[in-house]
A and B are shown apart, each in its own frame.
Chain A
Amino acid sequence: MSAGLPVEMETLFGDYPLDQAFDEMRERGGELRPHYKALAETLARLPEDELQRRKQSADLSFLTQGITFTVYGRDEGTERIFPYDLLPRLITAAEWDRIERGLTQRITALNMFLRDVYSDAKILNDRVIPRELVYSCKHYRRQMRGLQVPRNVYIAVVGSDLLRLNTGEYVVLEDNLRVPSGVSYMLTNRRVMKRTFPQLFHSYGVRPIEHYPQLLLATLRSLAPEGRPEPNIVLLTPGVFNSAYFEHTYLARQMGIDLVEGRDLVTHDNIVYMRTTDGLKRVDVIYRRVDDDFSDPLIFRGDSILGCGGLFNAYRAGNVTVTNAFGTGLADDKAVYAYVPDMIRYYLSEDAILPNVKTFLLGEEKHRKHVLANLDKLVVKAVGESGGYGMLIGPQSTARQREEFARQIEANPRNYIAQPTLDFSRAPCLIGNHLEPRHVDLRPYVLFGDKVNIVPGGLTRVALEKGSLVVNSSQGGGSKDTWVLEQ
């Protein structure tokens, strides 16, 4: 309980359980980790109710700024403020250094993999990755075969999810290579935190992240088609009903670029234009926040009205850059994920700095048997899903759910993978008037244009419900500001 803590912190910590999981703030014996000491002392010194008061003023700030997300599948109150926790998650300079090197290595390899698969497919010919695994992936786009993309960059914007195991080691849970979201929450969290704990922020020496929009803009500009020195860059959104619409408007405003919807775009002679009050204006770079399927009804899903007919042909002709490229979902398929360490070895002749989570591919019979026998201990995920949908958490599931998943696995084994249920790290959160630990992950945002850029930190997502392991905002998760320390 409060073992190892100074007396004045007892109320603050109350009944703060420590067990097998790595606690970001406290050692196994209960003592505070050195870099969390100043935070705990500041909190303990605050008068009672002061934390609540700050929390309320931060809440209000989120609401009036309209920092909200949309929840699918409900008619009422579809707009909600993004739940967040008032206490920052701290990462030391040494930890961050490793994360940064690990992600840079990983993203470089993933990009080389995409380029390879969509051109010579050497890695498949050398049998490092099974051919059928790649070609059976539902995000593989044959239209991308042999297509030259600017600077050979397929994935300009990436958000990889990291977890911290009970050894304290960071591992990669998944890579989001299609349209990763959440970066606006990272930025607004920071703004609110600077107002909520100004002195604390100052005394900690936190590395800045506020320049992310500028870096993103520079990345997009570096990918413009040749011969367009003043490129017209736009952000393509599915529209106001998309769950990340707030983020789209936020980024467009911060970058000073137009936020377009499919209906704003027209193509003529393989050139993309947008409809403006001054007539048609040529578009050079599209930061795409619309899935492949909905981007061009002539090439992908014909029933989509979100994209722009003719976009893909203009892209193929090299008249417009679309980023991330089409077909990048191939490399964040959860079965292909299992081979990322092999990719790193194959392309870079290095060992992965950030390891993977052990993954069973259910397409392989040996794995499948083991998984089906141990469904109650494992987490099963559909390979092409994101946002915490299509997932079975064994230890928290009912027998009926397990039966249902077993049936689905038998019917389509390629569509599922299984991983051990991870007891990943927990960080202190403000629950009521005291601190309680909750599970957290970390999603740093990687930009890849003329070089790899990672702003220090990212979005720490929190499973706000006690004991919950699901951090997705669509499933009751929240977020925390992430402070990467200078020292």
Chain B
Amino acid sequence: MLSRVADSLYWMSRYLERAENTVRQLDVTMSLMLDTSDTSAAKRWQRMMASLGKPPGMEWNDDLDAMARMLVFDTLNHAAVTFCVNGARENARQVREEISSEQWARLNRLYHQMHSPHAQSQFRVNINDALASVVDGIHLFKGVSDTTMIHGQGWQFIRLGRYLERAYATATLLEVYQPDLFQPNEQDHSGYQYLELVGLLRCCTSFEAYCQVYTADISSDRILEFLLLNRDFPHAIRYTVDGMRDAIDSIQRSGGRRPPDELVAVIGRLQAMLGYTTIQEILAGDVGKFLHSIREQCMRIHELIYRYYVHYSIQSALAT
């Protein structure tokens, strides 16, 4: 597969994953703001911004509706939903011949939905419905991708982008929430703590999955265990890292080129870090540092993918 095409599919997928993440976090944050807890709206907003990578120009100004609209409709802000949908479509447009017509039609519909003259007013009328319909659009695209595309290299690069973006976003989210939620000896029975924790789970669409594993007995340690170490839940970091490894292996199988040792090593190390540890060990150490190191390794994986599959030197390619 052409390197440029692989790169576009990878970014198309990352942008859509990012759009979905923004939508979910916004939805959860707005619903948490309805409750009158000690945590101020400003603080919640800042926390969300931190977990979205601190996009510039989004300082809290007490006008939630306007801020939310900006986070959805801005076309220049890297965390904004419309920006991400535009990015995904632009990448898809450049590899129009590689994706199925169904995928393109689906993504195009989402794009036109964000840009329709009615979009902003719909948003004003019922923000939850509007956000839900965006997530629906993204889910439909993913479903259509899985069912209409050959599961060859292109599809694997889509998976790779999705998992990398998700692992990075989840690690960031946990890192940002961690000082508030994962302090030992928490003693809060007011119910607000419960809402916060459920909110965190819902940011990763994992509340129901969590309950199936741990029952509705919500505790911060278990949440951390679930979102970091669960091997079966698609939003858990361990699952996404396993997925990246699987995608890289599949790319090798279909193309016959061995991934570079360094890439295999970085992913392998991260797999081991999450696969051969317990939550007690992690909590005994520095949780923040642990999460931060996951993020750094994700960035390293991205660099290596780019250097090996997309932007390699001609000398190195001719030598093999």
Interface residues of A (CB under 8 A from B): 63-66, 239-240, 245-246, 248-250, 252-253, 258-261, 263-264, 266, 268, 274-280
Q: CB of B1 within 8 A of chain A?
A: yes
Q: A65-B101, A253-B97, A264-B3 are in contact. Are A277 and B255 (CB under 8 A)?
A: yes
Assembled-state Cα–Cα distance A239/B105 (Å): 21
Contact A64 B94 (CB under 8 A): no
Assembled-state Cα–Cα distance A253/B103 (Å): 14
A246 contacts across to B, CB distance below 8 A:
96
Assembled-state Cα–Cα distance A258/B2 (Å): 8
Q: A65-B105, A66-B108, A263-B4 are in contact. Are A279 and B96 (CB under 8 A)?
A: no
Least Cβ–Cβ distance between B77 and chain A, in angstroms: 20
Q: CB of B184 within 8 A of chain A?
A: no
Please give me the residue from chain A that is nearest to B252 by CB atom. Answer: A278
Least Cβ–Cβ distance between B106 and chain A, in angstroms: 9
Instruction: For the A-B complex with A276-B2, A277-B255, A279-B320 known, give 19 more contacts whose Cβ atoms are closer than 8 Å.
Output: A63-B112, A64-B105, A66-B93, A66-B96, A66-B104, A239-B94, A250-B96, A253-B96, A259-B96, A261-B4, A275-B317, A276-B255, A277-B1, A277-B3, A277-B251, A277-B309, A278-B1, A278-B255, A278-B257
Assembled-state Cα–Cα distance A249/B255 (Å): 23
Please give me the residue from chain B that is nearest to A260 by CB atom. Answer: B2
Q: List 30 A-B contacts (CB under 8 A).
A: A64-B109, A65-B104, A239-B94, A240-B93, A249-B96, A250-B96, A250-B97, A252-B97, A253-B97, A253-B98, A258-B2, A259-B95, A259-B97, A260-B2, A264-B2, A268-B318, A275-B3, A275-B4, A276-B1, A276-B3, A277-B1, A277-B2, A277-B3, A277-B6, A277-B153, A277-B251, A278-B255, A278-B256, A279-B312, A280-B318
Assembled-state Cα–Cα distance A60/B277 (Å): 54
A63 contacts across to B, CB distance below 8 A:
108, 112
Interface size class of B (residues with CB under 8 A): 20 to 34
Please give me the residue from chain A that is nearest to B305 by CB atom. Answer: A277
Please give me the residue from chain A that is nearest to B6 by CB atom. Answer: A277
B101 contacts across to A, CB distance below 8 A:
65
A239 contacts across to B, CB distance below 8 A:
94
Q: Mark B286-312, 1 if CB is under 8 A from A, else 0.
A: 000000000000000000000001101
Least Cβ–Cβ distance between B116 and chain A, in angstroms: 12
Assembled-state Cα–Cα distance A459/B255 (Å): 40
Interface residues of B (CB under 8 A from A): 1-6, 90, 93-98, 101, 104-105, 108-109, 112, 153, 157, 251, 255-257, 309-310, 312, 314, 317-318, 320
Please give me the residue from chain B that is nearest to A249 by CB atom. Answer: B96
B251 contacts across to A, CB distance below 8 A:
277
A245 contacts across to B, CB distance below 8 A:
93
Least Cβ–Cβ distance between A63 and chain B, in angstroms: 7
Please give me the residue from chain A that is nearest to B154 by CB atom. Answer: A277
Partner of B317, one of A65, A66, A248, A280: A280
Least Cβ–Cβ distance between B184 and chain A, in angstroms: 47
Partner of A274, one of B2, B93, B309: B2
A248 contacts across to B, CB distance below 8 A:
97
Least Cβ–Cβ distance between A115 and chain B, in angstroms: 33
Assembled-state Cα–Cα distance A429/B303 (Å): 56
Which residue of A249, A250, A252, A264 has the most chain B CB atoms within 10 A of its CB atom? A249
Assembled-state Cα–Cα distance A334/B256 (Å): 52
B112 contacts across to A, CB distance below 8 A:
63-64
Which residue of A64, A250, A266, A274 has the most chain B CB atoms within 10 A of its CB atom? A64
Contact B108 A264 (CB under 8 A): no
8 smallest beta-carbon distances between A and B, as pairs: A249-B96, A253-B97, A278-B255, A252-B97, A275-B3, A249-B97, A277-B309, A278-B257
Assembled-state Cα–Cα distance A248/B93 (Å): 11
Please give me the residue from chain B that is nearest to A66 by CB atom. Answer: B108
B157 contacts across to A, CB distance below 8 A:
277
Contact A266 B96 (CB under 8 A): no
Assembled-state Cα–Cα distance A65/B103 (Å): 10
Assembled-state Cα–Cα distance A65/B109 (Å): 9
Please give me the residue from chain A that is nearest to B93 by CB atom. Answer: A240
Assembled-state Cα–Cα distance A245/B94 (Å): 9
B5 contacts across to A, CB distance below 8 A:
258
A250 contacts across to B, CB distance below 8 A:
96-97
Assembled-state Cα–Cα distance A253/B6 (Å): 16
Contact A268 B314 (CB under 8 A): yes
Assembled-state Cα–Cα distance A246/B108 (Å): 14
Assembled-state Cα–Cα distance A29/B14 (Å): 64
Assembled-state Cα–Cα distance A52/B67 (Å): 42
Least Cβ–Cβ distance between B306 and chain A, in angstroms: 11
Assembled-state Cα–Cα distance A264/B8 (Å): 13
Least Cβ–Cβ distance between A245 and chain B, in angstroms: 8
Which residue of B4, B108, B256, B320 has the most chain A CB atoms within 10 A of its CB atom? B4
A278 contacts across to B, CB distance below 8 A:
1, 255-257
A64 contacts across to B, CB distance below 8 A:
105, 108-109, 112
Assembled-state Cα–Cα distance A64/B4 (Å): 25
B94 contacts across to A, CB distance below 8 A:
239-240
Assembled-state Cα–Cα distance A263/B101 (Å): 25
Q: A66-B96, A277-B251 are in contact. Are A264 and B4 (CB under 8 A)?
A: yes
Least Cβ–Cβ distance between B53 and chain A, in angstroms: 27
Least Cβ–Cβ distance between B92 and chain A, in angstroms: 9
B96 contacts across to A, CB distance below 8 A:
66, 246, 249-250, 253, 259
Least Cβ–Cβ distance between A249 and chain B, in angstroms: 3
B153 contacts across to A, CB distance below 8 A:
277
A274 contacts across to B, CB distance below 8 A:
2
Contact A280 B314 (CB under 8 A): yes
Least Cβ–Cβ distance between B48 and chain A, in angstroms: 32
Please give me the residue from chain B that is nearest to A239 by CB atom. Answer: B94
Least Cβ–Cβ distance between A286 and chain B, in angstroms: 14
Least Cβ–Cβ distance between B268 and chain A, in angstroms: 21
Least Cβ–Cβ distance between A75 and chain B, in angstroms: 14
A258 contacts across to B, CB distance below 8 A:
2, 5, 97
B310 contacts across to A, CB distance below 8 A:
277
Assembled-state Cα–Cα distance A261/B5 (Å): 10
B314 contacts across to A, CB distance below 8 A:
266, 268, 280
Please give me the residue from chain B that is nearest to A278 by CB atom. Answer: B255
Least Cβ–Cβ distance between A397 and chain B, in angstroms: 38
Least Cβ–Cβ distance between B95 and chain A, in angstroms: 8
A279 contacts across to B, CB distance below 8 A:
257, 312, 317, 320
